[in-house]
Amino acid sequence: NAGVTQTPKFRILKIGQSMTLQCAQDMNHNYMYWYRQDPGMGLKLIYYSVGAGITDKGEVPNGYNVSRSTTEDFPLRLELAAPSQTSVYFCASSYDRSTNEKLFFGSGTQLSVL
């Protein structure tokens, strides 16, 4: 059982370049999330999705876009990379939204924008 898979693990971008961070889960979870973690900081929610075709903004959505065409996949798009987007990005998923539900995280993508 792979759980939540993120690719790539590392990436260096130049300012203004674009890229897509991939995230896939094989647990048939309805809810998926993208977080970023800056050095010495907690995780901040970028976007989330409650099911295929439904996405919404989190705490720090500026500079990012998402789509959810299938239950399994939730890619995060950076259109014009900026140094402020240098961070570690985590994708997560959960089955439901009960009080006992917990998030399952991928191993992260380390992104540097130079």
| Site for other proteins, rule CB under 8 A | 4, 6, 31, 33, 35, 40-45, 48, 50, 58-59, 90, 92, 94, 97-108
Of 17 and 75, nearer to other proteins (C-beta) is: 75
- In the complex, the smallest distance separating the C-beta of residue 29 from other proteins, rounded to whole angstroms, is 11
State the Cα–Cα distance between residues 2 and 32, nearest whole angstrom. 15
Q: Write down the residue that tokens 């409650």 correspond to.
A: 50
User: In whole angstroms, what separates CA 15 from the centre of its chain?
Assistant: 20
State the Cα–Cα distance between residues 86 and 10, nearest whole angstrom. 11
Of 85 and 93, nearer to other proteins (C-beta) is: 93
Of 14 and 97, nearer to other proteins (C-beta) is: 97
Dihedral sign of CA atoms 23, 29, 34, 39 in order: negative
- In the complex, the smallest distance separating the C-beta of residue 80 from other proteins, rounded to whole angstroms, is 27
